[in-house]
A = this chain, B = another copy of it.
């Protein structure tokens, strides 16, 4: 696949986000490749774990701004991109496989949503997590329903408002990740020993039941897509993004006249 390197292991499908020249950001192709890979995992009754990681010391950095800029002002593009993104993380929480996020490095914006929707997450000590959307006039609309479910209200609120990176240790303290270790494969091996004892059918039932215990409704997901689409279409936000893509200039570096 174009954006995802697939590694087949015993009862495991490894998926490596492989867009190093774009900081492993999320574009339309990556989301499509993820869906194809999950189809593959679902077709294999022996597969228990799907391990998601990022190439080159970056896990994932959220939406690809150059794609956003290229389509700027085309609302239907943004709406479709976000709908596909939330559909993907929804699928993480409903597919009858255990999705493990294996994190060694930076996780930003939409990348945090991939982690939030994973069943289990393990991170190396150097890993860092941030929600940078507000700096651009955006919000992590699609991420938040899943993030709040995983880590509670206030940690999600603080990350969104301060846009500050949190360490792996802090992320562990509020359950964004389930373990911190520099031997990521060992953690996954230990989880496999446990999860390998479960029937696929049980994993399916489990994920269905938990979705019912903390529902994220279709209405909430639609609201999230509509809100991010509305925000991305604001002229000021388009300017922030196109300026950054063209000149590597951050919004707060612009003179107020430019804003």
**Which A residues contact B (CB, under 8 angstroms)?**
98, 119-120, 134-135, 137-139, 141, 144-145, 148-155, 157-158, 160-164, 174-175, 178, 191, 194-195, 197-199, 201-203, 205-206, 209-210, 212-214, 223, 227, 231, 236, 251-252
Question: Closest Cβ of chain B: how far from A4's Cβ, in Å?
Answer: 24
Residue on B nearest A259 in the bound complex, by CB: B199
CB neighbours (8 Å) of A194 from chain B are 162-164
Q: Contacting A141 at CB < 8 Å: which of B158, B160, B174, B209?
A: B209
Question: Which one of B149, B153, B227 contacts A149 once the chains associate, using CB atoms below 8 Å?
Answer: B153
Do B251 and A227 touch across chains, with their CB atoms under 8 A apart? no
Cα distance A151–B155 in the bound complex, in angstroms = 10
Report if A223-B231 is in contact (Cβ < 8 Å); known contacts: A120-B161, A135-B198.
no
Contacts of A145 in B (CB 8 A): 213
Q: Please indicate the chain B residues that have their CB under 8 angstroms from the CB of A223 in the complex.
A: 212
Contacting residues, chain B, for A138 (C-beta < 8 A): 202
A195 neighbours in B (Cβ, 8 Å) = 161-162
Which residues from chain B contact A227 at a C-beta distance below 8 Å?
A: 209
Check A137 against B202 for contact (C-beta < 8 Å).
Answer: yes
Cα distance, A119 to B161, chains bound together (Å): 8
State in angstroms the CA–CA spacing of A205 and B205 once bound together: 37
